[in-house]
Homo-oligomer: A and B are copies of this chain.
């Protein structure tokens, strides 16, 4: 949870970031509430699971009102989505050392290392919610899935330009193979996401 809090500290919101979100309280007060709410959501998810996670519970734990929470997020899934997105941005750098295999391995290893409970619980809950609620599914895709794909796609496009991508693959299909395996293990087999998997993917996706 320290990660989410740190993320909020390191990236103070600019007015333009929240242009579509009315902010009625002062900036400082809003940011404190926001951080407290993200932290509360993650803690409650870890303690009791998604089935028991409620907007009321998050607000109570954060010491804020339900109205404050609903001012910023449509519901519990969107709170978790913001917490997970901050966690991913914080823990998964996009290396560019010129060594394509080392960069890809580092990115994948950092991605897998960031996928520990309660982040994994949040990811499973969010993917499920996205299937049940298509409007949330679009926000999930735009906020987390697509930016993650774009990050890996940038790295793989450099490898492709250098002729280092495996034959028959494009940066887009290689990205899908990597995130497909990540999600399949998260959702279906619960097999470990570890350095060994990062090595296997690096060897499969590059020449």
Contacts and interface: CB of A to CB of B under 8 A. Distances in A.
Copies of this chain, count: 2
Interface stretch (A22-30, A67-75, A161-169): A161-169
Interface of A is mostly: helix
Contacts of A181: 176-177, 180
A196 to B, nearest CB: 10
A66 interface: no
A203 B125 contact: no
A51 B131 CA distance: 10
Interface stretch (A11-19, A83-91, A183-191): A183-191
Nearest to A196: B173
A145 interface: yes
B185 A183 contact: no
A61 to B, nearest CB: 22
A99 to B, nearest CB: 18
Nearest to A133: B51
Interface of A: 50-51, 124-125, 127-132, 141, 145, 166-169, 173, 176-177, 179-185, 187-189, 191, 200, 203-204
